[in-house]
Amino acid sequence: MAFERMGLRPLDYRPVRYDGSKLEFRGPQRTLSGDFIACLGGTETYGTFIDRPYPDLMERSLGLSCVNFGWPNAGVDAFLKDEGLLRMVSRGRAVVLQVPGAMNLSNPFYKVHPRRNDRFLEATPRLRRLYPEVDFTEFHFTRHMMRRLEDISTDRFAVLREGLQEVWVERMQVLLQEIDAPVILMWFSRHAPGLGYQSSGVADDPAFVSRAMLRAVGGGAAHVVEVVISDEACAQGTRGMRFGAMQESVAADLPGLLAHSEASRAVSPILEALLAQ
């Protein structure tokens, strides 16, 4: 096929649903009746364009089923609003929770789709007052909108960002309380968390999350692990990833094969120690 990259067919993710959850996850279907590790996260956990994302690699390392509950572009809301999913992951021996960004969640300034959290639905009166010159009907995705708002006014954008950060901390604390299993909170990014309240930018996932925010929620987790993707892994670019040519720019922004291997190597020993207790 002309659009295929380097002769590799784009991945068939074999999407599946689990009884009780509203979301669709990467297949194949897994049995949840025995011991398993639940891997909860966004696009990176789902493993977009990756044959064997880090949950698969951890499963091989641990010899224990690691079920992929990744949901592309997931924010905190996608998980909190899915009671069936929370019940399922709570049955696991442990949960690896990829740190989500603070941009894809409903908040006092705007509403997002309850499941597809990157989809902007509407601005609240509070955001319209903050940016009276903006026509919010032109936006469909949160990142597009946030880039525009930051370009218009960095001072007003700081007010917006702080509001999102406060909501993120509150919701993450609730999410961790709702999971009835030990949680390993995993930072998975090309950069380390910023010092103090210095946070990631619009283009850097997990967007707007700072080290201070991680500290504020970390007490609800059994462990917090920082997986900072190495320069070597970044230099690999899209090598070995499977995507159509029209998807190359999207693939370039996502962790590659070596990055997923680094995540597995960082988290697996922590899981082994936790399971041995």
pLDDT < 70 regions, the chain: 1-8, 196
pLDDT of residue 8: 61
pLDDT of residue 53: 99
Residue 262, SS3? helix
Name 10's bridge partners.
Answer: none
Q: What span, in angstroms and rounded, lies between the C-alpha atoms of 209 and 13?
A: 29
Dihedral of CA 255/167/164/200: which sign? Answer: negative
Whole-Å CA distances, 204 to 189, 201, 212, 258: 8, 5, 17, 19
Q: What span, in angstroms and rounded, lies between the C-alpha atoms of 128 and 150?
A: 15
* Residue 197 CB neighbours (<10 A): 11
CB-CB contact of 255 with 188 (8 Å): yes
Q: What span, in angstroms and rounded, lies between the C-alpha atoms of 218 and 263?
A: 19
pLDDT of residue 3: 40
pLDDT of residue 9: 73
Q: What span, in angstroms and rounded, lies between the C-alpha atoms of 156 and 127?
A: 10
pLDDT of residue 7: 37
pLDDT of residue 2: 39
pLDDT of residue 244: 87
- Tokens describing residue 104: 């894809």
Q: Is the pTM of this model over 0.85?
A: yes
pLDDT of residue 199: 79
The DSSP symbol for 138 reads G
Report the percent of the chain where pLDDT is more than 90: 91
Q: What is the pLDDT of residues 119-155, one digit of tens each?
A: 999 999 999 999 999 999 999 999 999 999 999 999 9
Q: What is the pLDDT of residues 189-202, one digit of tens each?
A: 999 998 867 777 89
Instruction: Tell me the domains of the chain and their CATH numbers.
Output: 37-276 (3.40.50.1110)
